[in-house]
């Protein structure tokens, strides 16, 4: 440990290796001529305080997957680390990680589960797990390579030990930071780091850089794992990285699941338990682009299960219904009979009715806008009769929401013709299409 009361590092800077919002990292030389990485704070507010916190935590978390501190100063905030072979982002760009992305992803999750797991066990959350903070170190004695978690300056310490509020400019790395960090960064837990690690896996497997608040899911058997880890709702993610690692190993150790077949098997059960219901929702979320699943398989869902879905997560239920409409209007119809359109139309209609019954009028309006367009484009008599009868009995807020939806859909003339001989209870609907 350096003990220079003037705080001057005894290391010779050679060149800058990188810089973040709060610090510079230099390639430096010690008194023996060996190369090390020297980290020093920038002259910006809170930079020195963050570095002291980083030194404290990295010294405490004795784990081979946490970046090691070789030297530091007790008076001034700087410290020295081993020089890395590179970070994950750099190595992905140059193709330096081999030809097996799944093996690389597994190595990253194993390292994160070990290194971050030590922190999580003490109530510490990293909050900035990103490609630049996953470094690959080479052991000079035997040449083995080890991934380590670095840059612990943005951690959230255990609740009750946090200090000043953090500004939005410090909310981790866009594309990798969990969405809940923007609500209350002090309230996040280990699941925020699970999200970030899931985004790393997504990048490794797709070759694409994640974009803030935009899903990024790989094809193939790892799709479900990534979707679980990066779910917008932290309650639906694995609770910690050890659980995530167990799920990943289970996926890699078994044949790929066929989502459509699995969904049909689940929906064939008359009574689904809570675990099966969660699996149904997960399969649907993970396969939003699968037209056959939405048009041919999901319509087997019961009205009771739709109502349960609306009660559990009305936003998700509305999103599913709107996606059915999208597939109805944009997908290839193939050899299906035109009258089969009644089946997915009825599916959306049941979601719509359940949302109205749950007084989720804003979501119901969004679903109805898409449903009215789909129904008008298909003009199937069987569904028209159901819709006309239902609209006729609406009143109050439900009628107002459907009147707005008709207007937004642009299908006023279609419904004017459909309902010209129907008495509408809602004055708003009557006025809109009268």
**Beta carbons within 10 angstroms of residue 14's beta carbon:** 13
Phi first, then psi, for residue 145 (nearest 5°) are -110, 140
Three-state DSSP string of 88-131: HHHHHHCCCCCCCHHHHHHHHHHHHHHHHHHHHHCCCECCCCCH
Cα angle: 108, vertex 113, 118; to 5 degrees: 135
Residue 18, strand partner residues: 25
CB 194 within 8 A of CB 237: yes
Q: Which of 131, 100, 99, 98 is nearest to 199 (CA)?
A: 131
Q: In residues, how long is the chain? A: 434
Catalytic residue set: 128
Residue 99 vs residues 80, 104, 216, 305: alpha-carbon distances, Å: 33, 9, 21, 43
Which phi and psi (to 5°) does residue 25 adopt? -120, 125
The Cα–Cα gap between 117 and 127 comes to 13
Instruction: Answer whether 369's CB lies under 8 Å from 407's CB.
Output: no
């Amino acid at each position: 440990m350096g003990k220079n009361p003037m705080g001057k590092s005894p290391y010779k800077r050679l060149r800058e290796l990188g810089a973040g919002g709060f610090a510079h990292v230099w390639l430096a030389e010690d008194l023996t001529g060996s190369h090390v990485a020297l980290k020093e704070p920038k002259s910006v507010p809170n930079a020195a305080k963050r570095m002291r916190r980083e030194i404290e935590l990295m010294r405490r978390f004795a784990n081979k997957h946490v970046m090691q501190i070789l030297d530091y100063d007790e008076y001034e905030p700087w410290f020295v680390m081993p020089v890395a072979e590179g970070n994950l982002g750099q190595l992905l760009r140059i193709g330096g990680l081999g030809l097996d992305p799944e093996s690389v992803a597994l190595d990253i999750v194993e390292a994160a589960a070990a290194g971050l797991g030590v922190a999580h066990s003490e109530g510490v959350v990293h909050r900035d797990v990103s490609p630049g903070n996953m470094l690959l170190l080479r052991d000079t004695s035997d040449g083995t390579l080890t991934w380590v978690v670095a840059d612990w300056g943005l951690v959230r310490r255990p609740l009750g030990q946090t200090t000043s509020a953090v500004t939005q400019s410090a909310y981790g790395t866009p594309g990798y930071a969990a969405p809940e960090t923007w609500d209350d960064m002090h309230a996040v837990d280990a699941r925020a780091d699970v999200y970030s690690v899931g985004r790393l896996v997504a990048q490794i497997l797709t070759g694409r850089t994640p974009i803030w608040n935009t899903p990024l899911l790989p094809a193939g058997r790892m799709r479900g794992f990534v979707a679980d880890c990066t779910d917008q709702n932290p309650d639906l993610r694995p609770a910690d990285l050890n659980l995530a690692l167990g799920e990943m190993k289970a996926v890699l150790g078994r044949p790929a699941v066929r989502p459509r077949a699995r969904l049909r098997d689940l929906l064939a059960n008359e009574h689904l338990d809570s675990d099966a219901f969660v699996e149904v929702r997960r399969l649907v979320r993970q396969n939003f682009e699968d037209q056959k699943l939405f048009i041919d398989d999901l319509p087997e869902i019961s009205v009771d299960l739709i109502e349960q879905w609306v009660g559990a997560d009305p936003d998700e239920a509305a999103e599913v219904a709107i996606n059915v409409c999208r597939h109805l209007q944009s997908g290839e119809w193939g050899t299906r009979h035109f009258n089969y359109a009644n089946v997915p139309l009825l599916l959306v209609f049941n979601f719509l009715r359940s949302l109205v019954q749950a007084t989720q009028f804003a979501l119901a309006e969004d679903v109805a806008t898409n449903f009215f367009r789909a129904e008008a484009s298909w003009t199937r008599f069987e569904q028209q009769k159901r819709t006309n009868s239902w609209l006729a009995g609406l009143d109050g807020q439900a009628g107002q929401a459907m009147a707005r939806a008709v207007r937004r859909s642009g299908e006023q003339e279609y419904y004017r013709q459909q309902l010209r001989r129907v008495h509408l209870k809602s004055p708003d609907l009557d006025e809109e299409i009268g």
